[in-house]
Amino acid sequence: MRVTGLSEHAGRPLLRFADERTPEPADLVVFADGRTSIGRRLLDPARTLRYAGYVAHRGIATSAPHDLRDFVRLEPCPGAQFNVAPVPGGCDWTFYLGCTATEYEQHFGAKPTRRVFALPQHITPAAHEHVNEHADYLLPPEHAAVVRATTTRMAVPVLDIASPTRMVWPIGRGHAVLLGDALAPVRPHTARGANAGIEQAAGLAVALTQHRRYGADLPTALYGWQSRHLPTAVASVQQGPVIGDKLGFGVD
């Protein structure tokens, strides 16, 4: 069910849905709905995504460099990074390359802040060849050959957002929370995207257990959860552009 609104009714959060079904009351609403989070738009609308000026091109290949045994990262020049790792039946690679917002729209059919994950059907021939040409120019021949032979491709625009200042919102006597990419999408170089979401979800489960099983005050438990996890989320958001700058990736 696609959520379209969140309000208060009789002291409780009330969720509204796109298909106009009867609104649903709740005690606690958890938004873990990704980088384009509806929850963030409802709870923290001033924090919008902004494009960082480069793209993570992804590929799943049915072949691999002959000596590939573990994760390998190549940095052939500032503004380019190639990561490759073995997977059953081949390898999985990511090729970071600069790309203007206009080029992104031409290659993938929508603005980077709208199409935040380009699926295989969104990859145009021009985008396909753009990656191939850069692979030929920047990568060792065997790695470039793997890229050229890859038919299943995706692309992820690298996005930034302002640091969060909270994770918990009171809605009447109830609450709503954001976690994971809904709270703070980070640049992939930080390796803190999925990890942060898992840690925050596990911490929230502990907070709710303290409330349900041991009678802890729910607002106290939720704000304690926020105080434990918010500083790490802020640090990860701020770290991404620093790492990107060191790698030579500029803002479009």
In angstroms, the Cα distances linking 115 to 36, 46, 61, 155, 245 are 9, 20, 23, 10, 24
Q: 185 and 127, same structural domain?
A: no
Q: 64 and 137, same structural domain?
A: yes
**pLDDT tens digits, residue range 35-57?**
999 999 999 999 999 999 999 99
Q: 42 and 54, same structural domain?
A: no
In this structure, is residue 219 part of a structural domain? Answer: no
Mean pLDDT by 10 residues, the chain (252 residues): 93 92 92 96 97 97 93 95 96 97 97 96 96 97 96 96 98 97 96 95 97 94 97 97 92 57
- Cα dihedral: 32, 86, 93, 251 (round 10): 60
Sign of the CA dihedral with 101 first, then 106, 111, and 112 last: negative
Q: In which domain, by residue range, is 150 found?
A: 50-160
**pLDDT tens digits, residue range 199-236?**
999 999 999 999 999 999 999 999 999 999 999 999 99
What pLDDT is attached to residue 88? Answer: 94
In order, the DSSP letters of the chain are --EEEEEEETTEEEEEETT-PPPEE-SEEEE---TT-HHHHHH-TT---EEEEEEEEEEEES---TT--S-EEEEEETTEEEEEEEETTEEEEEEEEE--HHHHHHHHSS-TTT-SSB-GGG--HHHHHHHHHHHHHHS-HHHHHHHHH--EEEEEEEEE-PPPS-SEEEETTEEEEE-GGGT----GGG--HHHHHHHHHHHHHHHHHHHHHH---HHHHHHHHHHHHHHHHHHHHHHHHHHHHHTTPPP-
What pLDDT is attached to residue 111? Answer: 97
What pLDDT is attached to residue 19? Answer: 86
What pLDDT is attached to residue 252? Answer: 52
Q: 144 and 107, same structural domain?
A: yes
What pLDDT is attached to residue 5? Answer: 94
What pLDDT is attached to residue 237? Answer: 97
In this structure, is residue 213 part of a structural domain? Answer: no
The count of structural domains within the chain is 2
What pLDDT is attached to residue 35? Answer: 95
Q: What is the CATH number of the domain that holds 190?
A: 3.50.50.60
In this structure, is residue 68 part of a structural domain? Answer: yes
Q: 166 and 43, same structural domain?
A: yes
Q: 92 and 122, same structural domain?
A: yes
In this structure, is residue 186 part of a structural domain? Answer: yes
Last residue of a domain, one of 116, 138, 160: 160
